[in-house]
Amino acid sequence: MMMRLSSISPLLSWYIARTYLVWFVGIATTIVSVIFLADFVDMLRRIAGVEHLTFGIAAKLVALRLPYFAQELVPIIVLFASMGTLWALTRKQELIVARAAGVSVWQFLFPLILTATALGVIFVTLYNPIASKLYHNFISLEKQYFAKNKDLVSIAGKGNVWIKHKDHAGQIIVKGYPIGTSTKILQRAIVLHFDSHSNLIERFDAEQVIFESGRIRILSSWHSKAANPPIFLDKGDLFYHVRVSDIASMVQTADSISIWELPNYIKYLKQSKLPYRDHELRFQHLLSLPILLAFMILLSAVFSLRLPRKGGTGTLIASGAAITLIIFFFSDVMKAMSLNGTLPILLATWVPIATIFCFSLAVLLKTEDG
């Protein structure tokens, strides 16, 4: 099937790789610019009804989220950059001359595959930590500027969760260990209730705390007040203005954690019996990115090598875009099935990638090697 990849001229390999990088930068710049403008317009619409939010704040929020969007679109950028490269080289007869000189399709695809894989490694190891940090900052600022419950704070520690809620009447601080798959139920909890002047009103050392809409239910607790001895209570309630959904969704999102931090964070979530499948799926997605980008080169070749030779340019480009959309839709469906526990995470991550490889390899073997 493949001729010796090492027999291709280093100069030709560099020329192909350089042409590809030019296309990659051009398409990436175009796509990112369009995303920035669209997101900026949407952000201006969002801040229109919020006091004290300025044009500069909108631009800052969009800039913080932009690297995350760019990272998610890397496979698409790689695909169309490769299609553009192969189209340009074939249109200028350069690939035709190379193939007449004995260079196989696998040989001139090799520099593209190597370059795409190297880009994938760079994006995962260097770019992802930066994009994740900026996205984390975006989420924090978005909550600060737009969240309805700005005084609700949650800090996850090693196996325990701290939750603070503050309003005009005072503040409530809760520390406990999660039970089940959310932070709605905490065991071995400490509840501190302060007045508006930060004076301690009461303390509960409880076996269990349950967050419900509008109140905290405290079960089997020792209740202490200033100057009074502790008394045992079977149950007690503290009332506050927070929805259950606000309490249950305070685990840090997977997209805001870098690949270097994800393994330890996943371990913490598992130990704390908190939802972790989204984080593990994200980790596997990042690990697979260099391989996915390499296979996107093969997919692009299926729809690019025939363009000037046999006509039907528009049809082939549309077919490539349609196949890509179908594959990524299929991938999203499998990820959704994985998140609800229907499908193993490894299967959801690697089956779409294997599908791209098998489809591209089969078509190229049939059309290029006979």
Q: In this structure, is residue 177 part of a structural domain?
A: yes
**238 and 279: one domain?**
no
Residue 32, token pair as written in the block: 């990112």
The per-residue pLDDT for 180 is 47
- Asked whether the predicted pLDDT for residue 289 surpasses 80, the reply is yes
**197 and 165: one domain?**
yes
- Report the percent of the chain where pLDDT is more than 90: 31
Q: In this structure, is residue 250 part of a structural domain?
A: no
Tell me which H or E stretch contains 231: strand 228-239
Mean pLDDT to the nearest integer, 351-368: 88
**156 and 116: one domain?**
no
Q: In this structure, is residue 300 part of a structural domain?
A: yes
The per-residue pLDDT for 294 is 95
**40 and 139: one domain?**
yes
**61 and 47: one domain?**
yes
What does the pLDDT look like over 87-126, one tens digit per residue? 888 888 777 787 777 777 888 899 999 999 999 999 999 9
Give the domain extent around 276: 5-147+271-368
**71 and 215: one domain?**
no
- Helix, strand, or coil here: 92? coil
Q: In this structure, is residue 255 part of a structural domain?
A: no
Length of the chain in residues, anyone? 370
- Asked whether the predicted pLDDT for residue 46 surpasses 50, the reply is yes
The per-residue pLDDT for 2 is 43
Pairing of strands 215-225, 200-212: antiparallel
Q: In this structure, is residue 169 part of a structural domain?
A: yes
Q: In this structure, is residue 251 part of a structural domain?
A: no
Mean pLDDT to the nearest integer, 39-68: 89
**287 and 173: one domain?**
no
Environment class of 58 (CB within 10 Å of its CB; exposed 0-12, middle 13-18, buried 19+): buried
**13 and 100: one domain?**
yes
**32 and 178: one domain?**
no
Left if phi > 0, otherwise alpha if psi is -120 to 50, otherwise beta: which for 50?
beta
Mean pLDDT to the nearest integer, 330-334: 86
The per-residue pLDDT for 358 is 92
**233 and 308: one domain?**
no
Residue 157, token pair as written in the block: 């520690």
What's the first-to-final CA gap in the chain, in angstroms?
10
Indicate the number of domains in the chain.
Answer: 2
**296 and 234: one domain?**
no
